[in-house]
């Protein structure tokens, strides 16, 4: 025998007339499930590493002067910020010194023969990290000079006279590697001629930086490593063709003689700075 049917009580809190769901029938079904606009831009940017978004932004800026003005303002702010940074690379040269002359000196000769490749690789990594920052387009003169000093110290440590097995092996590997010379050249080529003149005459550890570089060149020649270091000295002394090109570029950017606006010179391609090196 079936149990008697029990009628449920009415729930007074229940919404008996829910609001209807309105769907735009004109829109594509896929559009209904699209993420928000910022997320769609992020996805498109990741697909081709920003190629499409850069192209779209360039087209929009070309057709809308107000967008171009906004981009220019952000560009000025970025340039102004970078020119005021003085980044020190002293820790890089200290790390190389500790690797070569510090903790590994107490190791046995057999273990020292296994370490040069590791140290050589780390030194090359440091060189690349230094030039990436100090050789950047908007790096300040303090950042550039700090990078040059760090590279100089690394070169001196590798060329210094020693019968230390580890040092001799590291030096031997740098006889066929031009990364240090290339890095110093890139930093100097990215600087203006007046910046190079300032770094050339700057006093460092009891003498001018030019005298320090001449010492490095002498040691490099004696040890048969860092081939082409004389190019660094020539760039530092402005003995290259870029000086004339730089002067022509500066003349193009000077504008009116009566223009004393600091920002106009900065953002027109000129740099205004005080020679406060790191």
d(CA 232, CA 155): 12
Instruction: Give 26 or 56, the one with higher predicted confidence.
Output: 56
Query: Contact 195/236 with Cβ under 8 angstroms?
Result: no
Q: At what angle do helices 51-63 and 65-83 cross, to 10 degrees?
A: 120
The pLDDT of residue 254 is 36
The pLDDT of residue 125 is 94
Query: Contact 232/185 with Cβ under 8 angstroms?
Result: yes
List residues bridging with 204 in a β-sheet: 207
Give, in order, the Cα–Cα distances in Å from 122 to each of 16, 45, 92, 155, 161: 73, 33, 10, 14, 21
The pLDDT of residue 182 is 94
Instruction: Please provide the average confidence, as pLDDT, over all residues in the chain.
Output: 77
d(CA 158, CA 43): 47
The pLDDT of residue 106 is 63
Instruction: Give 251 or 145, the one with higher predicted confidence.
Output: 145
* CA quadruple 177, 204, 250, 73: dihedral sign: positive
Average pLDDT over residues 146-154: 95
Does 39 score more than 50 pLDDT? yes
pLDDT tens, position by position, 219-270: 999 888 888 999 999 999 988 644 445 544 444 433 333 333 323 222 333 3
d(CA 170, CA 120): 6
The pLDDT of residue 31 is 57
The pLDDT of residue 209 is 93
The pLDDT of residue 149 is 95
46-55, 156-165, 203-212, 257-266 — which is least confidently predicted?
257-266
With a pLDDT cut of 70, the percent of the chain lying above it is: 69
pLDDT tens, position by position, 47-84: 998 899 899 999 999 999 999 999 999 988 887 887 77
Does 188 score more than 80 pLDDT? yes
Task: For residue 81, give both structure tokens.
Answer: 């910020």
Residues near 170 by Cβ (< 8 Å), separated by ≥ 6?
100, 116, 119, 120, 123, 158
| Residue ranges covered by each domain of the chain | 33-81, 87-248
């Amino acid at each position: 025998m079936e149990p008697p049917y029990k009628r449920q009580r009415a729930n007074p809190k229940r919404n008996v007339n829910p609001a209807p769901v309105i769907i735009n029938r004109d829109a594509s079904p896929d559009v209904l499930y699209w993420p928000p606009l910022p997320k769609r831009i992020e996805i498109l940017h990741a697909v081709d590493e920003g190629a499409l978004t850069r192209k779209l932004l360039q087209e929009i800026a070309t057709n809308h002067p107000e967008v171009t003005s906004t981009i220019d303002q952000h560009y000025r702010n970025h340039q102004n910020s970078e020119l005021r940074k003085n980044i020190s690379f002293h820790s890089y040269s200290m790390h190389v010194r500790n690797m070569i002359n510090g903790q590994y000196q107490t190791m046995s000769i057999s273990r020292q023969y296994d370490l040069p490749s590791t140290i050589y690789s780390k030194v090359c990594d440091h060189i690349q990290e230094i030039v990436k920052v100090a050789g950047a387009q908007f790096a300040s003169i303090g950042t550039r000079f700090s990078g040059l000093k760090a590279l100089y110290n690394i070169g001196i440590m590798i060329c210094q006279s020693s019968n230390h097995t580890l040092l001799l092996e590291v030096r031997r590997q740098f006889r066929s590697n031009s990364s240090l010379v290339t890095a110093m050249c890139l930093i100097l080529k990215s600087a203006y001629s007046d910046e190079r003149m300032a770094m050339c005459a700057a006093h460092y550890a009891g003498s001018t930086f030019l005298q320090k570089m001449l010492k490095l060149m002498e040691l490099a020649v004696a040890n048969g490593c860092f081939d082409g270091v004389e190019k660094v000295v020539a760039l530092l002394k402005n003995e290259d063709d870029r000086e004339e090109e730089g002067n022509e570029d500066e003349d193009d950017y000077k504008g009116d003689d009566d223009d004393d606006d600091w920002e106009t010179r900065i953002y027109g391609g000129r740099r205004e700075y005080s020679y406060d090196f790191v």
